[in-house]
Amino acid sequence: MIEEFKPADYRIGIGTDIHRVVEGRKLMLGGVYIPYPAGLLGHSDGDVVLHAVVDALLGAAGMGDVGALFPDTDIQWKDADSKTFLYIVKEQLDNKQWEVVNVDLTIHAEAPKLGPLKGQIRRCIAGLLGMDFQAVNVKAKTNEGLGEIGAGEAMAATAIALLRKKPRRTL
């Protein structure tokens, strides 16, 4: 059996998202609950990291964006666990014979300190995508006190994902 890949079988996508920090919400980042006195405002659970990852995957596959698939006007997604979004998108990628090669992402947040939590977030996303955790990289940085993120009023995320068509089997 020979596995054949052509350059056109690879696609790359980018996703970005930003959410407002508010009191009275659980902080969910990358599918992981983060103990913190505030959370992110959103129709769903506000998981800015998973939203960026979903957009990167959808972008790579040419399948639109998170807002089109899971509109904030749909009561079905009110307070939804964003892990569901990633799970559904992964299923759609499988159906279209796409496999995820790797995901890289950066979380932009002034607080809390995310260093100790990056491994957990990495494992959660890798688990949801059925990938080796080494194929998912998580970086975190502050905004050096600048702008809304620097003031702790918002958190943002940027993600990039590479897909490839599942190999065709030839004799």
Give me the residues that bind Mg ion (CB under 5 A), please.
17, 51
Closest approach, Cβ 44 to Mg ion, in A, equals 7
Closest approach of Mg ion to the CB of residue 159, in Å: 12
In terms of C-beta density within 10 A (0-12 exposed, 13-18 middle, 19 or more buried), how is residue 58 classed? buried
Please, which residue, 25 or 170, has the CB nearer to Mg ion?
A: 25
Q: Which is nearer to Mg ion, 54 or 117 (CB)?
A: 54
Q: Name the minimum Å distance from CB 149 to Mg ion.
A: 15
Cα–Cα distance measured from residue 39 to residue 37, given in angstroms and rounded to the nearest whole number: 7
Which is nearer to Mg ion, 19 or 122 (by Cβ)?
A: 19
Look at strands 168-170 and 2-4 and give their pairing: antiparallel
Residues 85 and 67: beta-carbon distance below 8 Å: no
Tokens read off for 37? 């006195």
Distance of closest approach, residue 42 Cβ to Mg ion, in angstroms: 6
Choice between 77 and 98, CB closer to Mg ion: 77
SS (H, E, C) 74-88: CHHHCCCCHHHHHHH
Query: HSE-up of 106 (CA within 13 Å, CB side)?
Result: 8
Closest-approach residue to Mg ion (CB): 51
The partner residues of 87 in beta bridges, in order of sequence, read none
